[in-house]
Homo-oligomer: A and B are copies of this chain.
Amino acid sequence: MSFKKSVMYSAILQCLVGTLMFSSAQAETKFVPEKFTVEQTIKPGPNVIVNGASWDGASKIHIYGQEELNYQGSVSAGLVSQTLPSKDGKQLYVLSHYMKRYTYGPVESAVQIFDINTLTEAKEIIVPNKAAHAIGMPGLLERNYDDSWIYVQNATPATSVTVVDKKLGKVINEVAVPGCFGIFPAKDSNKFSTLCGTGAIKSVTFNGNKYEISESKSGLFDVKKDALYVQAIRNVNGLLMIPSFNGNIYMVDDSGKAPKLVEKISITKGTEGNWAPGGYQVMSYNKSLDMIFVLMHPDAYEGSHKDASSEIWAYSMDKKKIISRSPAENLVALAVSQGKTPILFGSNEEDETVDQYTLADAKAFTFTKAGSDDKTGWSTNLQVDQ
């Protein structure tokens, strides 16, 4: 057999080489065949990661360079992905669901860890198929402060949180927090907080295999009149900032046993036109400027809390005032780069693009659309990796 094979190969080779020789001889300059290769890494620099979740196929996670909005590459996942960059920005966590027959059959839910530089998979961790199959949004896939654990929000529809040990590559705990939703990691790596339907915020603190749940004063927020978005960002002073449907920022201290409301800041007070936030990831924060950026729409009404933006508001948490209002249509998710000259990125619901906004007027601190790319398709959340 092996003899026959090598004879066969020789014949093919002679034929190929003969043809080539003939061709090359006629060419004026010698033809050098090109090589088919694979790029080993993406280009260096900060990225924006767009979660192109699919409900009946592979979710596509798109990586763009922040400066040029150049397409760096992608990773693929299963159904209804959630994404989260690691603390050091070098890895990307992706939660998604794999069904044996794509839209039915046994479900395998997995957290996959990708190396951003090479866009290759470093680890896959199977988690219980209780993980929420939800639209991409903050608070459903999170990590603890020192990035040793990954948290997964469950909904069956009863709610709980799965705790994954990243190093061990396995689930180490599951916490029932019924009636609560969203994971807000504390500065204490053994702790996270969550929003509850009673209007309370609860903190879960781990102690080895056990955990303890402490509850804020009930009615910290009013679920009917001023519901909170499931999104919290920690500010420079260590407080959680949680935006509400009506445009209030709830400043919450989660350092004690039970969370406490420190202050409620209205970013719309004194502004005409009944403006309110809208979208799936309505707010982003730039630490160096201590400034939040919020997707806003006018003429708000009950039910408009997911309506896309008309403007992006830049609000100084330090000065407690609006710094600028930039026209920005159709965005439902917002991410801002860090540093003193931020770039904004948004998920455009209407055009199904990722949009890039850069500083147009440094003095007025206003932004205009500088780039856009339609390879993302429809997305509802995105993140910067640094």
Contact = CB atoms under 8 A, between A and B. Distances in A.
A100 B98 contact: yes
Q: Determine which residue in A56, A76, A101 has the highest number of CB atoms from chain B within 10 A of its CB, and name it.
A: A101
A54 interface: yes
A58 interface: yes
A78 interface: yes
A100 B60 CA distance: 16
Interface in A191-218: none
A102 interface: yes
B56 A103 contact: no
Interface string A322-340: 0000000000000000000
Contacts of A102: 57-58, 76-78, 98, 102
A168 B101 CA distance: 22
Determine the main DSSP class of A at the interface with B.
loop
Interface in A50-69: 54, 56-58, 60
B58 A76 contact: no
Interface residues of A, number: 14
A56 B57 contact: yes
A3 interface: no
Contacts of A57: 54, 56-58, 102
Interface in A26-80: 54, 56-58, 60, 76-78
A176 to B, nearest CB: 16
Nearest to A124: B101
Contacts of A98: 100-102
Q: Determine which residue in A58, A76, A103, A104 has the highest number of CB atoms from chain B within 10 A of its CB, and name it.
A: A58
A57 B53 CA distance: 12
Nearest to A57: B57
Contacts of A60: 56
Interface in A74-105: 76-78, 98, 100-104
Given A56-B76, A76-B102, A102-B102, 18 more contacts: A54-B57, A56-B57, A56-B58, A56-B60, A57-B57, A57-B58, A57-B102, A58-B102, A58-B103, A76-B101, A76-B103, A76-B104, A77-B102, A78-B101, A78-B102, A98-B100, A98-B101, A98-B102
17 contacts: A56-B58, A56-B60, A56-B76, A57-B57, A57-B58, A57-B102, A58-B102, A58-B103, A76-B101, A76-B102, A76-B103, A76-B104, A78-B101, A78-B102, A98-B101, A98-B102, A102-B102
Give the top 4 A-B pairs by smallest Cβ distance, nearest first. Answer: A57-B57, A58-B102, A56-B58, A58-B103
